[in-house]
Amino acid sequence: MLFLQQLNVHAQNEGTSTGTKWISSQGEELSSYSPVDGKLIGSVRTTDKVGYEAVVQAAQGAFAEWRKWPAPRRGEVVRQIGEVLREKKQPLGELVSYEMGKSLQEGLGEVQEMIDICDFAVGLSRQLHGLTMHSERPGHRMYEQWHPLGIVGIISAFNFPVAVWSWNTMLAWVCGDVCIWKPSEKTPLCSIACQNIITEVFARNGVPEGVCGLVNGGRELGEWMSADARIPLVSATGSTRMGKAVGAAVGSRLGRSILELGGNNAIIISKDADLDMALIGALFGAVGTAGQRCTTTRRLIIHKDVYEQFTGKLVKAYGQLRIGNPLDQHNHVGPLIDKDAVTSYLAAIEKCKAEGGKFIVEGGALEGDGFESGCYVKPCVAEASNSFQIVQHETFAPILYLMKYDTIEEALSYQNGVPQGLSSAIMTLNLREAEQFLSAAGSDCGIANVNIGTSGAEIGGAFGGEKETGGGRESGSDAWKAYMRRQTNTINYSNSLPLAQGIKFDL
């Protein structure tokens, strides 16, 4: 495949790197099969304990030097990475689409996110600011500054195999940190491609070996990173179950964690909504990436006065969806990541029916020509209660639950009445409803949108959620502070030593 050649990804690859050097490992072979057609793309050699130690030790050594580089100089390296990503956007987007299964447009969009965060980080490299405070003591100056933490461990998920890594890495690098990345074992070849891109830039800039480590493997690697006191910050994206394990392990050693976990996102559709606009937002939110985004729309809370009208539009739109090879840009929906995901999808449908759900768009697995991988399913829609156990649970698949409401207060109670708190939206032209939704008594999610869907966040805003979503923030705004340590400094330039709070300690 041409895109593999352009990214220097081979049939067999080492999966462990300290930056520009690949390390031979005695780990197992990890094969990557495309959910698009079931074919073997390639394999990587997983990281064993010896390889892991080599990566961590290289990172420790690199940090001692990297943190001394001026932040704008580190930003220049990131700028060059962004330029190479522009050159490699098409082949990398194709690899993301083929290995993960999302549409090519979404694969290209993911690489564009990487480019965007590079641009953001370059600007940030000249804006890592602290505050100056007035001291109560005469002849004193007080201020705060931010210093890098050290090694940042990044555990990423299959659904965004490259973008979320870049959110963390580019910010961490300009902050002066070094990184170790453990990608999902379901999309290892995307990590190889990214490491090759980084290697090219690092080599020509004399970046210390160890600034960008890569380890490939399964759960055990994540456990090593979470328990490793040499890694002060672990940023983990994945299920709530996984995040609780990471958070407990990191917390037990008083480390820091950024947790981006499950979502159970809803759109409230008001009687005052533009229904055509609401349809677009709901449809992409529910079926984009085949329902495998943490921001996927899983619930529609629809006002009773427009319920029949809107569901009619929705059913018609679902009937027009084209399911198939995501590299074919005529298709809207690609496959789930693997057959286990299909099994979970089918089980969720049965649970919904058992609890009393009524499907107005039927689901099911797809077979036959074009669906040989066994990973394709039908996006489906069910009328359900917010109290159903399956509705309270995040199923990583294109299943959309509908429910009616009467008052905005009732809608908000449904919106907030789930364990997760990532993304939310309301479709309304009623200013009072919109403001109530955004108020402290409104949505309890980390992301709350008006007249756009739950999916498709921009990198300029901090990304993350509350409750069982983990509470972490990545990407824009002041999320960079999570990758640094705060230091308060007081300088006495007087010829005496007065104490704070007026305390006297004279001899």
The catalytic site residues sit at: 260
Nearest-angstrom CA–CA distance, 212 and 179: 5
Q: How many CA atoms within 13 Å lie on the side-chain side of 487? A: 9
- The tokens of 323 are what? 């399911």
Nearest-angstrom CA–CA distance, 279 and 480: 35
Nearest-angstrom CA–CA distance, 475 and 461: 7
Residue (of 211, 173, 214) closest to 82 by Cα position: 173
Distance (Å) of CA 8 to CA 13, 88, 200? 10, 11, 11
Quick check: 258 and 251 in contact, CB under 8 A? no
Angle, alpha carbons 441-445-446 (nearest 5°): 120
What angle do helix axes 219-227 and 49-66 make, rounded to 10 degrees?
40
- The tokens of 103 are what? 């549409």
Q: Is the dihedral of CA 155, 158, 164, 170 positive or negative?
A: positive
Quick check: 85 and 121 in contact, CB under 8 A? no
Angle, alpha carbons 433-436-440 (nearest 5°): 165
Quick check: 9 and 196 in contact, CB under 8 A? yes
Nearest-angstrom CA–CA distance, 288 and 102: 8
- The tokens of 66 are what? 């990297």
Instruction: Report how far Cα 319 is from the mean position of its chain's Cα atoms.
Output: 30
Quick check: 405 and 250 in contact, CB under 8 A? no
